[in-house]
Amino acid sequence: MNSDCIFCKIAAGEIPSSTVYEDQDFRVIMDINPASKGHAIILPKEHAANVFELSDETASKIFVVAKKVATAMKEELNCEGINILQNNGELAGQTVFHVHMHLIPRYKDDTVTIGWAHKEAYNDDFAAIAKSIAARIK
Ligand code: 5GP
Ligand code: ZN
């Protein structure tokens, strides 16, 4: 628990929130500035600024929670799809530095923008990149 961190306080229940789901490791709440109706964020109760700091134990559980809540959302909201995503670092769009996962329901003709432009021709050497990353995997 980081006493300067708003998501720690929300996850611990010290600041009230619209909670969708809670267990001993996570609290899932409605995003205060939703991209679409039902946009929720999964907050681990453990403080970690980003995925790099997150424990393997919590990392291994978070997608199970995402699946559980996404399934309920799909049934209840009748959305066509759901984006599940997570930002690390300011450049990647992270604005709150307590790791969290977004569940963004998608509806026909919604105005949500998520994505990136695919490069048509990419000159990097895929094999070399794969090999050099692989060498660092612990
Ligand atoms: P990020 O940009 O870091 O991936 O996402 C942060 C998200 O947290 C944003 O979608 C923002 O709307 C949401 N958010 C920021 N502060 C609060 C808050 O105090 N309460 C809730 N419920 N959501 C918040
Ligand atoms: Zn925190």
32 lines ligand 1 (CB under 6 A): yes
- Give catalytic residue positions: 100
31 lines ligand 1 (CB under 6 A): yes
Write down the pLDDT at residue 13: 97
Write down the pLDDT at residue 123: 66
19 lines ligand 1 (CB under 6 A): no
Q: Which residue, chain included where needed, has tokens 């929670």?
A: 65
Write down the pLDDT at residue 23: 98
For ligand 1, the distance from its centroid to the CA atom of residue 75, given in whole angstroms, is 24
Instruction: Name the residue at shortest CA distance from atom 17 of ligand 1.
Output: 32
Q: What is the pLDDT along the chain (138 residues), one digit of tens a residue?
A: 888 999 999 999 999 999 999 999 999 999 999 999 999 999 999 999 999 999 999 999 999 999 999 999 999 999 999 999 999 999 999 999 999 999 999 999 999 999 888 877 666 788 899 999 999 999
- Residue 34: which of 20, 22, 46 has the closest Cα? 20
Angstrom CA distances, 112 to 9, 12, 21, 26, 31, stand at 28, 30, 24, 26, 14
Write down the pLDDT at residue 120: 72
Ligand 2 (ion): which residues have CB within 5 A? 2, 5, 7-8, 47, 98
Report the residue among 8, 41, 99, 114 best suited for mutation to probe ligand 1: largest number of ligand atoms under 8 A from its CB.
41
Rg from Cα positions in the chain = 17
Write down the pLDDT at residue 132: 95
For ligand 2, the distance from its centroid to the CA atom of residue 10, given in whole angstroms, is 9
